[in-house]
Amino acid sequence: MTLPLAFALAALLQTPPVQIPQGAALTEAVSAADAAFFELFFEGCDPANLATMVTDDFEFFDDRGGRVATDGAGFVAQYATRCEARRAPGGWRTRRELVQETVGIYPINNYGAVETGEHLFYESHADGPEALAGRARFSQMWKLEDGRWKLARVFSYDHGPAAE
């Protein structure tokens, strides 16, 4: 194979650059992906849909549990088990609420975006009342893949009590 032909083939095989939205369009897109992901994760139960929302190489790090997910399939399997436990009559339910004024969304050229902020967690047991359970900070890497925003990395840290 000649050198010019090799370069031509290499160029054809390269992934085209990802066009990341900027400004308000980026904020709107990532905010919508975040809301859909966390509503499904905490309040829904659809493992097949969750699998479309994370990258294959998804990783999740938590200050309390360490590296708690090492790939998308494993994370979805953990979620499926959690869904079943939540459906039980005496199951615990959790809801996440963003602290909007702390959220920042920043483009990452040719990949996606980083989202940072704080969130509150509410819990209820069985059909009991919901109570504020805590707060944490987060940094999340979103990847724009085939026109869809997918969660690639999550860092959840500084967990503690919260007061409204």
The CA-to-CA distance between both ends of the chain, in Å, stands at: 67
| Band of pLDDT at residue 5, cut at 50, 70 and 90 | low
Q: pLDDT at position 54, please?
A: 98
All domains of the chain in start order, with CATH:
20-160 (3.10.450.50)
**pLDDT for 123-146, tens place per residue?**
998 888 999 999 999 999 999 999
Q: What mean pLDDT comes out for the span 30-55?
A: 95
pTM (predicted TM-score)? 0.85
| Band of pLDDT at residue 17, cut at 50, 70 and 90 | confident
| Band of pLDDT at residue 6, cut at 50, 70 and 90 | low
Q: pLDDT at position 160, please?
A: 94
- In DSSP terms, which residues pair with 16 in a beta bridge? none
State the SS3 of 38-97: HHHHHHCCCHHHHHCCEEEEEEEEECCCEEEECCHHHHHHHHHHHHHHHHCCCCEEEEEE
pLDDT score of 4 more than 80:
no
Q: pLDDT at position 132, please?
A: 94
pLDDT score of 76 more than 90:
yes
